[in-house]
Amino acid sequence: MSKDKVVLAYSGGLDTSVAIGWIGEQTGKDVIAVAVDVGQGGEDLEVIRQRALDCGAVDAYVADAKEEFAAEYCMPGLKANARYMGVYPLVSALSRPVITKHLVRAARQFGATTVAHGCTGKGNDQVRFEVSITSQAPDMTCLSPVRDLALTRDVAIEYATKHDLPIETTKHNPFSIDQNVWGRAIETGYLEDIWNAPTKDVYTYTDDPTYPPLPDEVIITFAKGIPVAIDGRECTPLQAIQELNRRAGAQGIGRIDMVEDRLVGIKSREVYECPGAVTLIEAHAELERVTIEREQARFKRIVDNRWAELVYDGQWYSPLKKSLDAFIDSTQEYVNGDVRLRLHAGRAVVEGRRSATSLYDFALATYDTGDTFDQSSSRGFIDIYGLPTKLAAARDAEHGAGVDYGVGNL
Ligand code: ARG
């Protein structure tokens, strides 16, 4: 009988390279390494595949998921203007659902029933991996070698040295970094003292906005909420993100330094750089302000916020998230047109918008000649609109001070 198998989310780094042999020793199972390219850059997938095999994996599965990640994960994030706590564009949170999709696919292909990942027991990502995996494959079991099999950093270095694994053990990066095409997340080291400012070496996607090059004007064309051209040149979602990462990154746009609320209850400090994501969200949100009807837009802001929380919390595959997707998609029908932005010195500022499906009516808005808004209608509107509160105020006047709202004598 062949051995049980474990599919491992493999990055090619020290920890997951050691995890291959460690899981084998601790569980007696064969390990299949799975590496997914979501635009994190760095080594070639083939190099990573070979290293997995050299570290003892019985097989390796590599997937270029860049286009898929951009189109099916980042674009829903853009349509939702998704920024957790109003700030963080969900870089890592968006990548876990696509990575787990490939993990589950590989597990099925190789007949594995356990899926392992390299996350610690303190973060959001363990939750995202495991909830996403069991949401797609309720029959699977999850394993975290760091959390469940005591694979600490020291143990990993000792193991790699002892077994002469083809992996660097001496290079000490003070930061824990996760990156993909939607952005980059940097934590730990001296950033854990939240009074410390990030130093220059933290950033790689963005240049220092203090010394910017000349302003860069860009026109982004959207169709149904999705970027389809930049400066008139057609592009895929991946190309749009990549081009804006480059151009907005050169201007130092999308640097974020925040303390955030993790799902496991900890407040943690994270630095992000998301030049393309931030530029696209700024542009998309403004185009929505032009094209989405007021009440739908007001409600969408609530839905967008909830969507971001669900995705942050590892609920990508949940029924509620799917329902919110249906609402969000229904709002994007008329989010078409061009947004012109000025990228400069750390900011992406919208300067122009035009849309064939706009609700902006120049004749209604103008204070100049040609005004079609009938100002005489406003009087009656205000009388009726203000009526409920006017009645309540009259009652207060008749029956004394009314309700004490705790604001003292105004
Ligand atoms: N705090 C972010 C999140 O939970 C990013 C985590 C990424 N990990 C890292 N090693 N920087 O989505």
Q: How many residues does the chain have?
A: 410
Among the listed residues 147, 176, 354, 355, the single catalytic one is 176
Is residue 401 scored above 80 in pLDDT?
no
pLDDT at 402: 59
pLDDT at 171: 78
pLDDT at 27: 97
Residue 405 banded pLDDT, cuts 50, 70, 90:
low
Cβ 7 vs Cβ 116: under 8 Å: yes
Is residue 375 scored above 70 in pLDDT?
yes
pLDDT by residue (tens digit) across 275-315? 999 999 999 999 999 999 999 999 999 999 999 999 999 99
Amino acid at 64: D
**Which residue reads 């993990």 in tokens?**
103
**Which residue reads 């079609």 in tokens?**
372
> Cα–Cα distances in Å, from 57 out to 38, 54, 155, 309, 354?
22, 7, 19, 36, 54
Residue 169 banded pLDDT, cuts 50, 70, 90:
confident
The model's pTM is: 0.96
% of the chain at pLDDT higher than 90? 95
Report the C-alpha gap between 49 and 55 in whole angstroms: 10
Task: Round to the nearest angstrom and report the end-to-end CA distance of the chain.
Answer: 83
Amino acid at 126: Q
Closest C-alpha residue for ligand 1 atom 3: 92
- Per-residue pLDDT, averaged over 319-336, amounts to 98
Amino acid at 141: T
pLDDT by residue (tens digit) across 233-258? 999 999 999 999 999 999 999 999 99
* Ligand 1 centroid distance, CA of 124 (Å): 7
Is 176 close to ligand 1, i.e. is its CB under 6 Å away? Answer: yes
pLDDT by residue (tens digit) across 36-76? 999 999 999 999 999 999 999 999 999 999 999 999 999 99
Amino acid at 75: M
Mutate to test the pocket of ligand 1, among 132, 270, 272, 312 (most ligand atoms within 8 A of CB): 270
- Per-residue pLDDT, averaged over 212-220, amounts to 98
